[in-house]
Amino acid sequence: MISKELCSLSITSLREKIQNKEIKFIDVVNSVLNRIKSEEQKICGYITLFEEQAIKQAQNLDATIKDRENLHPLTGIPIAIKDNICVKDFLTTCGSKILHNFISPYDATAVARLKNAGVIIIGKTNMDEFGMGSSTETSYYGPVANPIDTVYVPGGSSGGSTAVIAYRGAIGALGTDTGGSVRLPAAFCGVVGLKPTYGRVSRYGLVAFASSLDCIGPIAKTVDDTAIILSTIAGQDEYDATSVNIPVNKLLCNPEAIKDYTIGIPKEYFAEGLDPKVAKVVERTIKELGKKCKAVKQISLPQTKYTIATYYLICTAEASSNLARYDGVKYGLRTTSQELINMYEKTREDGFGTEVKRRILLGTYGLSKGYYEEYYGTAQRVRTLIKQDFDEAFKTCNVILTPTAPTPPFKLGEKISDPLAMYLSDVFTTSPSLAGLPAISVPGIGKVNNFPVGIQIIGPAFAEECILNCASAIEKING
């Protein structure tokens, strides 16, 4: 196989070729870098590329590793990292002007675990500014295009990470998911994206947007590959008090296991707002999956209608608090002024984009005196009711299947001036985020306008294995 084709292979396929000494580590890196050079200018998936470091690391692995039988599955695999996850000694911009010069002094725990496995970090990917967006159009470094059709958005906010997987400019990637930011772009770009259970993966080194919602999750070409990456980065971390002490077993996908599964289909996800063409693909997927599983049953998640309002009240309030640290004093951009207060104001005015300012204002209002209990307090109570809906549903089903997005990808610029229309892109992904549940998006059986349709599989807390099995079964049906 010639080098330029290696970037199209999965992690598991590359691992087999490396173990059999059919290819070298440098062959894989060169294949990925060549692909980046041919595609990146029209996609804008990367903010920073680690070309020199990646080549040196691959050459060093080729020179020093003699026994290839007992390697970690990710050794020598080029992985891209979303640019709100810290990589020591490299820029971490969060897609924002205000952090355009911030060099991280440490690795995020997820990155450290990848490095310990021998991963080659290929670069930092583009994203909506501070993760605030559903289209990756709010980045200071320019919008990302969908590799399937560059007139369309890739989804957001992890659009850079999913786009580089889609055009084969990385073998795997890390994204972050607050309300759907791994799953939505995975759906739009036709790749696999997984949001783990809240607490499964350490948030240490992830620049905070909404602390009670943020999760680091894997993005890859196949379900097996996402399982390998998740197994590597998951686990308790002394630096993150919200990480959970639950043993992480090696996650292996077993599509045959769904023969014992009951799959729940929530009726609220098939109501007004769902594109009929998307609905047909989802229904076709359900029909085919139903032949493999124990049962398919309709369920109800009655609080679904409140999820968008609840999510945006909570995430903007937490963003307002988290982004207060960007004041021109500690790090990042500083707009000079003789007056301290004026320096704060000018720095934030110059450094933040429109969507970030909007969310800070909304969140500050929701937390202000006289409104805190009415808005933020009410949202937290509704959040509990949303979680209770899922708890009740999982008494009668193993996993829940829904569309990932209500529509196919929309065109660049189509919704950027209509925040509410943009927010509604997350209508199906915010519920599991609010409940802290694991969810994966995998391409369904069929396409709409040449775009794959994402199928979302939601599981009970820490049941990543169940959603991986179900996603793997869909992948197997798809061939």
163 φ/ψ angles, rounded to the nearest 5 degrees: -65, -40
Question: Under DSSP, is residue 217 helix (H, G, I), strand (E, B) or coil?
Answer: strand
Which candidate in 31, 134, 181, 243 is catalytic?
181
One-letter amino acid for residue 227 of the chain: A
| Rounded-to-10 torsion of CA 352, 353, 356, 357 | 80
Which candidate in 10, 31, 82, 202 is catalytic?
82
- The yes-or-no answer on residue 157 being catalytic is yes
- The yes-or-no answer on residue 476 being catalytic is no
Helices 276-290/464-478 angle, 10° precision: 100
Q: Is there a contact between 73 and 11 (Cβ–Cβ < 8 Å)?
A: yes
Which candidate in 31, 157, 243, 441 is catalytic?
157
* Region of residue 234 (phi > 0: left; psi between -120 and 50: alpha; otherwise: beta): beta
Whether the link from the prior residue into 38 is cis, omega within 30° of 0, is no
339, two tokens: 């007056």
Output the CA torsion sign for 278, 279, 280, 282: positive
151, two tokens: 């007139």
Question: Under DSSP, is residue 455 helix (H, G, I), strand (E, B) or coil?
Answer: strand
Output the CA torsion sign for 281, 287, 288, 293: positive
Query: For residues 148 and 443, what is the distance between their CA atoms, to the nearest angstrom?
Result: 14
- 194-212 b/e (C-beta count within 10 Å ≥ 16 → b): bbbbbbbbbbbbbbbbbeb
**DSSP letter, residue 151:** T
Query: For residues 226 and 219, what is the distance between their CA atoms, to the nearest angstrom?
Result: 6
Query: For residues 468 and 473, what is the distance between their CA atoms, to the nearest angstrom?
Result: 9
DSSP codes, 395-435: TT-SEEEEES-SSSPPBTTSSTT-HHHHHGGGTTTHHHHHH
Q: Is there a contact between 351 and 326 (Cβ–Cβ < 8 Å)?
A: yes
Residue 381's CB: how many other CB atoms inside 10 A? 10
- Angstrom CA distances, 212 to 11, 369, 386, 434, stand at 31, 22, 15, 8
* Region of residue 262 (phi > 0: left; psi between -120 and 50: alpha; otherwise: beta): beta
**DSSP letter, residue 201:** B
- The yes-or-no answer on residue 82 being catalytic is yes
Residue 82: strand pairing partners: 125
Q: Which residues are catalytic?
A: 82, 157, 181
